[in-house]
Structure 1
């Protein structure tokens, strides 16, 4: 069942598309039918920069288990890194 519920968040980062790296400004997370993954439904995460057009999009289609494992891996990685190491403030001093 598709929920049609979408979480949209502003982000700062970069991603690699077909033409190389581009700035990422948003991420969208939703549960829906995948375009490619061989499952009925997936957790879909789109990293994008709408100002750069349709080509500035990196889509992910994950199973629920894979999405939860990714969340845990991100949380574990951030918990073991020095606080603020990957923050915007740290990048400004770089």
Structure 2
């Protein structure tokens, strides 16, 4: 196991923290922006507020990655390892 974590893993951790910190606020703005019963200027302001959030506050930036190699495919969620690393630790 390498000493320093992979940059992809660090980026994924940063994205997970950002999503968790801003989830409720983002969902509230999304609800207001998509509500057809509200006046257009209110919906527009909510959309502007959504656009001010950073890149790593969007849930789509979170990806399951291997905690050792940073590989994004074949990750066993139970262990947090990709299919190649899983066998080296068992």
TM-score, structure 2 normalization: 0.25
Higher normalized strand content (fraction of residues) = 1
Higher normalized helix content (fraction of residues) = 2
